[in-house]
Amino acid sequence: MNGKREQIALPLDWPQSQGESRLIVSDSNRDAFEHFRKWSLWPVKATLLTGPRRSGRSLLARNFVERVGGRVIDRADMAEEEELFHAWNAAQESGHPLVMIVDRVPPEWEIALPDLRTRIAVTPVARIAEPDDLLFQALIELHFADRGLHIPREALRFMSERLHRDYFTVERAVEAVDRFAIAERARVSLPTIRRALIDAGMIDS
């Protein structure tokens, strides 16, 4: 890990949007971002995007197609195979890319339709991993900021060291702290955060 994370620096011709300000790049997702930046190099006009839920998959995919056109199919591995087959073909004919967000990729994703199976086999895959240290801390700060709250540095370190590291846990933990602080009429501090997370059963006492 190179110890760097940054707000995503989109190509200059990409219009900025509110959603893009929430895209934070670290080693956990850098390859996926680079994959979409270089979409003109894809072997076909389609891609699979996989990774943990709540990891920003949909945000990344929808910002991408807003810029270049195309279509996003969320939970594509649960969709009708005929629909995916026709969507894949349409992307090749139109030149507008298709992004299929999936929880599983082959062979875990078992595709029954032979024509779809052969097309998915040549479709590139972009992967987002579980958050690394830097992304986990950045997401904690982001979710507190969404609630108009500032988290002290020592409290941020405490949360990042004590919590299970996944995207859903970030959201649950910040919500638990906010609710606890409101109920106790307490400011967001290290003691408040410790008590809130213990009370929520998210860390040991």
Candidates 37, 116, 131, 118; CA nearest to 73 is: 116
205: in domain: no
Same domain, 114 and 162: no
- 167 and 112, same structural domain? no
Mean pLDDT taken over the chain: 90
Query: Residue 125 has what pLDDT?
Result: 98
Mean pLDDT of 78-103: 98
The predicted pLDDT at position 22 comes to 72
Count of domains forming the chain: 2
For residue 190, being part of any structural domain is answered with yes
Do 24 and 89 have their domain in common? yes
What residue type is 91 in one-letter code?
A
Given a cut of 80, is residue 26 above it in pLDDT? yes
Q: The domain spanning residue 77 has which CATH number?
A: 3.40.50.300
Q: Which of 97, 127, 157 is the last residue of a domain?
A: 127
The whole-model pTM stands at 0.84
Residue that terminates a domain, selected from 85, 101, 127: 127
Q: How confident is the model at residue 21 (pLDDT cuts 50, 70, 90)?
A: low
With respect to residue 1, please indicate whether it lies within any of the assigned structural domains. Answer: no
Q: Using alpha carbons, list the distances in angstroms from residue 149 to 116, 131, 152, 163, 196.
A: 47, 22, 10, 19, 15
pLDDT category at 205 given cuts 50, 70, 90 is confident
Examine the pLDDT at 97 and tell me if it is beyond 50: yes
Q: Is residue 204 part of a domain?
A: no
Tell me: do 67 and 13 sit in the same domain.
yes
- 95 and 160 co-located in one domain: no
Residue 14 has what pLDDT? 31
24-25 and 6-7 strand pairing? antiparallel
pLDDT score at 18? 47
Q: What percentage of the chain has pLDDT greater than the value 70?
A: 90
pLDDT digits (tens, 9 = 90+) for 27-65: 999 999 999 999 999 999 999 999 999 999 999 999 999
Assess whether 81 and 148 both reside in one domain: no
Supply the range of the domain harboring residue 40. Answer: 6-127
On whether both 145 and 108 belong to a single domain, the answer is no
Distance (Å, rounded) from C-alpha 169 to C-alpha 50? 19
20 pLDDT band (50/70/90 cuts)? low
Residue 115: pLDDT over 90: yes
Nearest CA-CA partner of 71 in 49, 52, 104: 49
pLDDT in tens, 133-189: 999 999 999 999 999 999 999 999 999 999 999 999 999 999 999 999 999 999 999
Report if residue 175 sits inside a domain: yes
